[in-house]
Structure 1
Amino acid sequence: MTDPAPLVEVHDSPELLATAVAGELLNRIADAQAAGHVPHISLTGGTIAVAIHEEVARHAPASGVDWGAVHVWFGDERFVAPDSPDRNAGQARAAFIDAVGVPDANVHEFPSTADAADVDEAAARYAEELRAHWPGRFDVMMLGVGPDGHVNSLFPGFPQLTATGPTAGVTGSPKPPPERVTLTFETTSAAASVWFLVSGDGKADAVRRALADDGSVQETPARGVTGQAETIWFLDTAAASLL
């Protein structure tokens, strides 16, 4: 079976992009719950992700979603103190998780520096969390893309691109902070739907390279992730400007 061809959806502004993705996410979660399924979603960080999360909080009351029956995971995390503003989990909690009432037991955060001695221990502990609470597939995996084409904390040329196992520690990240923990391709690709969320002309070349007919995962890691049922690139006009 071949992977489904990626779909590209372009919106006129970052604000319209955020509203569209938030609405689609709420619909997917509500539909899954209506079918008797407990959805597991994986979040990403970054400016456009925060905007999407805020839109999720704004539209959540009318969505019919039972947030007590949703599990939230993270694609990667900065290995910093638990109260650091750099943590993706902290940003997501502030933007929507706490506001909509996802139970703490259903929010699966990567360990911080208060919970693990180093990135490798943090990765091992998150792998244990996956084994204990993850059904083996995400309903939706949301990913940002860096100007260099990285996704999660899988950077061009880094050894984590070929890591085996569900998680990996990262040191010497080219994007600060230098220490991180990430899902590997093995886990990131275990998703029914993969959504790339990209805004701004600074990401346009990375988008072009990721969607080109040729190129390598080592140079553009975003090429290494596809959804089992669908892959959608949600772009604003600036991010799509080189397509």
Structure 2
Amino acid sequence: MRAVVEGDRAALVAATADRLEALLGERIAARGRATIALTGGSVGIELLAALVDRRIDWEHVVVTWSDERFVAADSGDRNARQAREALLDLVPIPAANIRELPAADGTSLDDAATAATGLLEALGPIDLTLLGMGPDAHVASLFPGMPGVREGGARIIPVRDSPKPPPERLSFTVEAINASERVWLIVAGADKAEAVALARSGASPDEAPAGAVHGTLETLMLLDADAASAPA
């Protein structure tokens, strides 16, 4: 995991938007499309908003999410709804290219995870999984000490009793994250500094799930100076 540090949150978002714009162009030129698993969280949504005016061939971009809150489709808690408001409803991406994870519409959480795993399998190779990180070093909806961290297989799992509301979620497993060619963790704020240091220290996945994730080609921890302030 290579750390890249920018001066402040705004610089981090702008630099990551530059990096992402370049990657999308490169993958579309090489493969004819680019597939990304998006993340929620405040800095993740700021990053999406920063892409609105970028020169990106959205017709050839496919998006999904590395985790989702299992709530109603119109809930403001949905990562997908927040991403639509910040970016996806403002750019010419085809509706068929937006692969939302299931919402709580009467389907059970277990059945939703099975359906979401089918969606993941149909996507094929993921060029990039974007992740945020919590002050507890969680990524996606994989929380320290919870059973989801140890779930095997490249699939999407049900998460119950999340320590952050809402309690029910869907999440990539560590193995699903690690099947991506690139994994970028974008992290801002002094409240994340200890978690950043822990994730980079070789701590166990049960203690710091963020330290267990990596891409097959590239793994970046994109930080602002505050998030990078604790000694590793």
TM-score normalised by L of structure 2? 0.96
- SS of the residue 2:64 aligns to: strand
The aligned runs of 1:79-158 (5 Å cut-off) are: 79-114=70-105, 116-132=106-122, 134-135=123-124, 137-158=125-146
Q: For the residues of structure 2 that align with 1:33 and 1:40, how far apart are their CA atoms?
A: 9
- TM superposition shift of 1:110: 0.8
Q: For the residues of structure 1 that align with 2:126 and 2:51, how far apart are their CA atoms?
A: 18
Q: Is the contact made by 1:15 and 1:51 (CA closer than 8 Å) also made in structure 2?
A: no
- TM superposition shift of 1:119: 1.7
Which residue in 2 is equivalent to 1:189? 178
Q: For the residues of structure 2 that align with 1:124 and 1:240, how far apart are their CA atoms?
A: 37
Which residue in 2 is equivalent to 1:3? none
Confirm or deny that 1:13 pairs with 2:43.
no
- TM superposition shift of 1:185: 1.1
Confirm or deny that 1:180 pairs with 2:169.
yes
Q: For the residues of structure 1 that align with 2:110 and 2:92, how far apart are their CA atoms?
A: 31
- TM-superposition CA deviations, 1:19-49 (whole Å, max 9, x none): 1111111110111112243111111000101
- TM superposition shift of 1:193: 1.1
Q: For the residues of structure 1 that align with 2:192 and 2:16, how far apart are their CA atoms?
A: 18
Aligned residues, how many? 230
- SS of the residue 1:182 aligns to: strand
Q: For the residues of structure 1 that align with 2:115 and 2:178, how far apart are their CA atoms?
A: 20
- What RMSD over aligned residues (CA atoms) do the two structures have, in Å? 1.1
Confirm or deny that 1:164 pairs with 2:155.
no
Q: Is the contact made by 1:79 and 1:179 (CA closer than 8 Å) also made in structure 2?
A: yes
The aligned runs of 1:214-229 (5 Å cut-off) are: 214-229=202-217
User: Identity percentage over the alignment?
Assistant: 40
- SS of the residue 2:73 aligns to: coil
- TM-superposition CA deviations, 1:100-150 (whole Å, max 9, x none): 121111111111111x52221111110111223x11x21111100111111
- TM-superposition CA deviations, 1:197-224 (whole Å, max 9, x none): 0000111111000001x32110100011
TM-score normalised by L of structure 1? 0.92
- Poorly superposed stretches of 4+, deviation over 2 Å: none
Q: For the residues of structure 1 that align with 2:93 and 2:176, how far apart are their CA atoms?
A: 23
